[in-house]
C-alpha cells in the first residue's frame, strides 16, 4: 500500500517544527479513524448477507463513526453523507433471495 512517512527534515523555525510534529500526530489519528470506518463497512457488508439484525446494528455503528469523522474534519461532510446514504439504502432494500 502506501509507504510509511518518516519524520520531516529539520525545519528552520520552532513554529515549523511544532507544526510538523502536530501534522504527524493528526495524520496518525486520521488514518486510524479512516481504517476503523473501512473495517466497519466491510463487516457490515458481510453481515448484510446472512444476519440482517446484526447488519442493522453494525450499520448504525458505522454511521455514528462517519458522523464523528465528518465533525472532526477527517472526512468531508458530503462524503460522510454519501456513505451514510449507501448504508441506509442497503438496510432498506428487501432481502435478495
Looking at residue 64, what is its pLDDT?
98
pLDDT band at residue 3 using 50, 70 and 90 as cut-offs: low
Q: What are phi and psi of 84, to 5 degrees?
A: -65, -40
Q: Which CATH class is domain 14-92?
A: mainly alpha
- Region for 2 from its dihedrals, namely left if φ exceeds 0, alpha if ψ lies in -120 to 50, beta otherwise: beta
Report pTM. Answer: 0.80
Domain boundaries, the chain: 14-92
**What's the rounded Cα separation, in Å, for the pair 78 and 80?**
5
Looking at residue 40, what is its pLDDT?
97
Write the pLDDT tens digit of every residue in 35-46: 999 999 999 999
Amino acid at each position: 500500500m502506501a509507504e510509511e512517512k518518516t519524520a520531516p527534515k529539520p525545519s528552520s523555525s520552532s513554529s515549523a517544527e511544532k507544526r510538523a510534529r502536530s501534522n504527524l500526530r493528526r495524520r496518525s489519528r486520521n488514518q486510524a479513524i479512516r481504517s476503523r470506518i473501512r473495517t466497519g463497512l466491510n463487516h457490515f457488508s458481510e453481515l448484510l448477507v446472512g444476519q440482517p439484525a446484526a447488519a442493522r446494528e453494525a450499520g448504525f455503528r458505522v454511521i455514528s463513526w462517519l458522523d464523528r469523522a465528518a465533525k472532526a474534519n477527517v472526512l468531508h461532510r458530503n462524503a460522510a453523507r454519501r456513505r451514510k446514504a449507501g448504508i441506509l439504502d442497503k438496510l432498506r432494500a428487501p432481502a435478495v433471495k
